Amino acid sequence: MAIDRLDGRLIELLAQEPRIGVLEASRRLGVARGTVQARLDRLQAQGVIRGFGPDVDPAALGYPVTAFATLEIKQGQGSDVRTHLATVPEVLELHTITGHGDMLCRLVARSNADLQRVIDRVVGFEGIVRASTAIVMENAVPLRIIPLVRAASDG
């Protein structure tokens, strides 16, 4: 189940230089090409590596404002709220969290003013009782995974 040292180094290498191929990776890691290929296949089969999709920056798309909204949901309306929020493009992710029918969602907007429009659309749904929004001022630690990979592979 867990990944070993070589898996960890492979993931790190791919994260740092995504453009290198299997052959180049095998050279860098000092192992055979087939080994890298087998590891990659296994990591993807296990679901450790979900894919290699493009990493898109919302700010560069014109949405420089990020916010987190905590939503209080009316009993039994969770499913409807999920469906509703999934239709809002500015909702980048949504979690149900511990607490009395609470959800947490990540939003982006074109500006602070535009955030009002987004929030109105988000909470404009009968199942949502209350919403509390926190605007992100600085992304001190951008979403990262490498340190965790190191920890998981006892690197």
100 binds a copy of itself, rule: CB under 8 A: no
103 binds a copy of itself, rule: CB under 8 A: yes
Query: What is the C-alpha separation between 151 and 42, in angstroms, rounded?
Result: 19
46 binds DNA, rule: CB under 7 A: no
Q: Which is nearer to DNA, 13 or 119 (CB)?
A: 13
Judged by beta carbon distances under 5 to 8 A according to partner kind, the member of a copy of itself, DNA, none in contact with residue 45 is none
User: Cα dihedral sign for 63, 68, 71, 76?
Assistant: positive
The gap from C-alpha 2 to its chain's centroid, in whole angstroms, comes to: 21
30 binds a copy of itself, rule: CB under 8 A: no
Stretch that binds a copy of itself, among 28-36, 82-90, 121-129 (CB under 8 A): 82-90
The conformational region for residue 51 under phi > 0 = left, psi -120 to 50 = alpha, else beta, is left
Query: What is the C-alpha separation between 53 and 138, in angstroms, rounded?
Result: 25
Query: What is the C-alpha separation between 9 and 47, in angstroms, rounded?
Result: 17
Stretch that binds DNA, among 31-39, 75-83, 93-101, 118-126 (CB under 7 A): 31-39
84 binds DNA, rule: CB under 7 A: no
Q: What angle is formed at CA 142 by the lines to CA 136 and CA 146, rounded to 5 degrees?
A: 155
Q: Which of 23, 86, 135, 136 binds DNA (CB under 7 A)?
A: 23
35 binds DNA, rule: CB under 7 A: yes
